[in-house]
Amino acid sequence: MMPPVIAIDGPSASGKGTVAAQVARELGFHYLDSGSLYRLVALAAQRAQVSFDDEAGLARLAAGLDVSFDGGEARLAGESVDEELRGEACSAGASRVARFPAVREALLARQRAMRRLPGLVADGRDMGSVVFPDAALKVFLTATAEVRAERRYKQLIEKGMPATIDILLADLRERDLRDANRPVAPLVQQADSVLLDTSAMGIAAAVAFVLAQWRERVPGLF
């Protein structure tokens, strides 16, 4: 048997990363934050002065990405880049580079290699549709754009970074539209995924929901 996978997909700032990481800890599973790989490509492109419109150049960067995750810390060419990855520039850049088929293909094998015993919790935009279509549990985690903008605003302010709620909301809506309408691996809820709207739900409740769904589907593995 292949190691089991819980795939959690959803739009930016929906809380899927926090939920996925906590579910992985509860189960003792590995965790894949696929968005960090696209943010790393965006950061590498900025540093190498490769245009976000240069599909071939971006794909080459993605294929040769010198990245490691040590204790949850992302390193690019040995340098810790966690703070840069969480900034709005990398977040917006990730959405732009992710629209290219060649970039997504270059990162596919790297993501699938994360599937190891005892299991994997993976979050992103296409975990259940493309990367792990045979996932034992697929969750589509979302929230209204207004709630997501407020969450992102609070995150940035807490980190001491400047933010404007109206700009964040407009950016999220633009990103949602781009992610949902890209020609490859668009962000859509799969027919076999469970919808989880966290607009009025805290992290603990969302984690409990996913764990309950997991118990129902594969009780022998919990």
The alpha carbon dihedral of 214, 206, 122, 10 has a sign of positive
Peptide bond into 118 cis (omega under 30): yes
Residue 219 carries which DSSP code? G
Give the number of other Cβ atoms within 10 Å of residue 82's Cβ: 11
pLDDT score, position 21: 93
How confident is the prediction along the chain (222 residues), in pLDDT tens digits per residue? Answer: 899 999 999 998 899 999 999 999 999 999 999 989 999 999 999 999 999 999 999 999 999 999 887 666 888 988 999 888 877 788 889 989 988 999 999 999 999 999 999 999 999 999 999 999 999 999 999 999 999 999 999 988 988 888 899 999 999 999 899 888 888 888 889 999 999 999 999 999 999 999 999 999 876 654
Contact 211, 23 (CB under 8 A): yes
Where do the structural domains in the chain lie, given as residue ranges? 5-215
Residue listed under structure tokens 């596919």: 108
At the second CATH level, the architecture of 5-215 is 3-Layer(aba) Sandwich (3.40)
Predicted local confidence at residue 170, as pLDDT: 95
Q: Starting at the edge strand that comes first in sequence, how are the strands of the sheet with 30-33 ordered?
A: 30-33, 120-124, 5-9, 137-142, 194-197
> Which secondary structure element, helix H or strand E, spans residue 196, and what is its range?
strand 194-197
